[in-house]
Amino acid sequence: MKIQKILKVVYVSILFLVTVFIWEQMYSAQFLEYDKNYGVLLSVFLISVVAFVILTIMWFKVRAFIEQNSFVTILFVVMTSPLTLLFIIYFYQDIFGKLKV
């Protein structure tokens, strides 16, 4: 029982930190030079893909744990899914402002 609680705290913390990192990088990309800002956006997208793949693998391996933390998992997937990030990158100028060219 104690291990489940510790795992839940670690799981929620990791999802929170990854979400904050992704969105902070998305925001800070507008202040970087041309090549660096697109590199940051690409790396954020790749981190999102890796996180989504890891969650998919976890879904098949430890489904009960994911279901116990379904709210946090769904919130993470909605905020950091590759599809969401593609949408944000496409409308980047409207959301965050213009990228440096």
Confidence check: pLDDT of 49 > 90: yes
- The pLDDT score that the predictor gives to residue 98 is 78
| Average confidence (pLDDT) over 60-65 | 94
Confidence check: pLDDT of 101 > 70: no
Q: Are 101 and 34 in contact (CB under 8 A)?
A: yes
Q: Where are the domains of the chain?
A: 2-95
| Average confidence (pLDDT) over 13-24 | 96
CB neighbour class for 45 (10 Å; exposed up to 12, middle 13-18, buried from 19): middle
